[in-house]
Chains A and B, each alone.
Chain A
């Protein structure tokens, strides 16, 4: 018994040392950078704007992880593919032909709406298919089983799209109205970045209304608390779960469009990195919490875009900008170690899994 206590203390001590070391490195790097002052205010503003735009996309994707986790306590690792499937299909079958005929830039708003709607529908369709075929039969299985299935589903969709649409990178057409930048906040801001942030805000407001105010939204929250009691209210639990998947996928479908507008290309593997980043964002914000996913996404986007320059540059690391992804995943590990419940989440122990 006594031995056990000593052991726990050693682990605590070790964690505290890591924590202290990280804080020291961050402070040291930050102070050095500030003293050194290698960037102008305008450059910092650019970092922030880029971070917010990137973070917005993470936030939209993160919603799907957090909603599904909320109702099923399952990490849906195929969610990145829900994101990819919509915009891939939409690019190849809608945006491409529209651009080729010139319709795209003659009627940009209509085109964008059609592309977005189609992307959303395909993402939702892929999500519902996956849920019905791969997840639903495993509802009562041990928790590890759906997790493995999700990884399988992810590989399935990647290879399905690779097989059906080819493995080359596909260009997403340029919208003339979104080309270039406008002066804002003392710098030039890309129009696409502005579009990303605006669309994200609209989607989040819409989502919040749906979850908090509508009968269906309330029933999803009821299901995520207690499935048996929800059924006693007359709520069709399976249907609520399907709607939850569909809602997350709709958000991911829109995120896909934003992604394509910013990066102007799509491919079958494009869901992987944003998927894992968004998962990180969801954990960071507190998985299961919708506002948490939004905040986590924003936070991660900002951290990635500012972090390397702020903490790492002055430490003499040569290619510090290449460490963006490393930073994101170090952050995931740190969150899991020090605050597993995330920024807004509640302690996992309280959950009645």
Chain B
């Protein structure tokens, strides 16, 4: 049984038909990537998984259970965390308070403490800035915070929406290193990226999204060799 399954999902913003029958599966332990141009529907796909946007038809199934009846804040309790597009940190809260909010769904005090230490280990910079108002962090630090905050939920499935956006190349590398590390520790990852080059290096499989439809799905290797992908997303002729 796949961990996550989207079956023929149609989603709308008012009259705008943003997802036109998306079907995706993610197996436990995988890194799966979703690539596509601006406006293809990548963020929208993640929003239907987290429950922020409900599909009009089709279903989102987690561990065999249809998520339709659950509002967004309940889905977190099922082990899904998200690093939102544009980081979405609470800029008036301190770094530490943001991490506390990441663990909002949990009540195991000891476990939270462990994960906090773990997060500071992964991102020592955050520990130095524990009590800083997070709106004053640099862009890269905010990205670290958004990732660390999602980890604080101790998710089984982590959805990441363009974690490399706006980062210097060196930082992009380290973000992807960390994604791999998180994955090795047992978290399944669905990664949305514009940076297809990097995403296909760390993912096992990928889907290509175009104007609300999946036009291609293959192993990462297969996608890298696909002429259409090479031309449109990897910038090769």
**Which of B101, B105, B153 lies at the interface centre, i.e. has the most chain A CB atoms within 10 A of its CB?**
B101
A225 touches B92 (CB 8 A): yes
Which chain A positions have C-beta within 8 A of B149? 233
Q: Which of B67-102 contact A (CB under 8 A)?
A: 71-74, 76-77, 81-82, 84, 88-93, 97, 100-102
Cβ of A42 under 8 Å from chain B: no
Mask of A82-94 contacts with B, CB within 8 angstroms, 1/0: 0000000000000
Known: A229-B88, A232-B50, A232-B52. A219 touches B73 (CB 8 A): no
B93 touches A221 (CB 8 A): yes
Cβ of A222 under 8 Å from chain B: yes
Known: A218-B93, A235-B101. A226 touches B88 (CB 8 A): yes
Known: A233-B101, A233-B104. A222 touches B73 (CB 8 A): no
Which chain B positions have C-beta within 8 A of A222? 90, 93, 101
Given contacts A221-B97, A228-B84, A231-B71, 5 further A-B contacts (CB under 8 A): A225-B90, A228-B88, A230-B90, A232-B82, A235-B101
Provide a sorted-by-A list of 26 A–B residue pairs whose CB atoms are within 8 angstroms: A218-B93, A218-B101, A221-B90, A221-B93, A221-B97, A225-B92, A228-B52, A228-B72, A228-B88, A229-B88, A229-B89, A229-B90, A230-B101, A231-B51, A231-B71, A232-B72, A232-B82, A233-B73, A233-B76, A233-B101, A233-B105, A234-B76, A234-B77, A234-B104, A234-B153, A237-B73
Interface of A is mostly: helix
Which chain A positions have C-beta within 8 A of B102? 233
Residue of chain A at shortest CB distance from B98 = A222
B73 touches A218 (CB 8 A): no
Known: A218-B97, A228-B52, A229-B84. A235 touches B104 (CB 8 A): yes
Which chain A positions have C-beta within 8 A of B73? 231, 233-237
A225 touches B104 (CB 8 A): no
Residue of chain A at shortest CB distance from B72 = A231
**Which of B50, B73, B74, B153 lies at the interface centre, i.e. has the most chain A CB atoms within 10 A of its CB?**
B73
A226 touches B90 (CB 8 A): yes
Q: Which of A200-231 contact B (CB under 8 A)?
A: 215, 218-219, 221-222, 225-226, 228-231
A215 touches B92 (CB 8 A): no
A218 touches B100 (CB 8 A): yes
**Which of A219, A229, A231 lies at the interface centre, i.e. has the most chain B CB atoms within 10 A of its CB?**
A229
Kindly state the separation between the CA atoms of A225 and B82 in the bound complex, as whole angstroms.
17
- List 6 A-B pairs, minimum CB-CB distance, nearest first: A234-B105, A234-B76, A231-B72, A229-B88, A233-B104, A231-B73
